[in-house]
Amino acid sequence: MLVLSRQSDESIIIGDNIRVTIVEVRGDKVRIGIDAPRDVTVHRQEIYDAIQREQISVTKPT
């Protein structure tokens, strides 16, 4: 895993067309903004995990 340090209003670029910007740091919370093409799906980890579990349960034979 690549680990980068950023401050508020600083960004990182992923590929040629995804920008992740640190919007705010407050205590132990960090707000990020993500600019990505509409065809790039972006989820929080817990939402992604729930989607994966749902897809497995739908395709799993009973």
Decide if 37 contacts 54 (C-beta within 8 A): no
Domain membership of residue 4 (yes or no) is no
What pLDDT does residue 62 have?
A: 64
Domain membership of residue 2 (yes or no) is no
| DSSP code of residue 34 | E
Domain membership of residue 53 (yes or no) is yes
Domain membership of residue 30 (yes or no) is yes
- Residue type for position 26: R
Question: What tokens appear for 56 in the block?
Answer: 């497995």
pLDDT of residue 60 exceeding 80, the answer is: no
Burial (CB count within 10 angstroms: exposed 0-12, middle 13-18, buried 19+), residue 21: middle
Domain membership of residue 23 (yes or no) is yes
Domain membership of residue 3 (yes or no) is no
Greater model confidence, 22 or 55 = 22
- Identify the domain containing residue 50 by its residue range: 11-59
pTM of the model: 0.80
Phi, psi of 23 (to 5 degrees): -85, -45
Provide the domain count of the chain.
1
